[in-house]
Amino acid sequence: MASLQRLNTEVDEMAIFGREVIGREVMDRTGVHLGSLTDIHFDLKTGSISELIVTVEPSVSAAALPFESNENTVTIPADAVSRIGTQIHLNK
C-alpha cells in the first residue's frame, strides 16, 4: 500500500511539473527559437524525463533537425536538454 501511495505522489508531481513547462519556448544551443513544448514523456521507473515533444515553428524544418520528426513535431531525448528555465535550452 505504501509503495502505491508513493507512486501516486510521484505521478502527481510529474503532472504538476508537466503543466508548469508545457508551452515553454524551446531554444537550440545557439539561441534559435525552434518551437514550443507540447508534451513530456517520463520514465515511470525513475521519474526522470525521457523525451520532450516539441511543435516546431512554421519557419523551422522539423526534418532538418537532428531529432526524430513527424510533420511539424520533433521528439527530443532528455540528454539533449541543457537546462529548463523560463525557456528550454538544448545542447544540440
Residue 71 is placed in which grid cell? 510533420
**Can you give the CATH number for the domain in which 14 is found?**
2.30.30.240
What per-residue string of b and e applies to 59-75 under the rule 16 or more CB within 10 Å gives b? ebebeebebebeeebbb
Question: 4-63, pLDDT tens digit by residue?
Answer: 566 556 656 655 555 778 999 999 999 999 999 999 998 888 878 899 999 999 999 999
What pLDDT, on the 0 to 100 scale, is given for residue 11? 57
* Number of domains observed in the structure of the chain: 1
Domain, as residue range, for 18: 2-90
**pTM above threshold 0.75:** yes
Share of the chain above pLDDT 90, in %: 65
What's 43's DSSP letter?
Answer: -
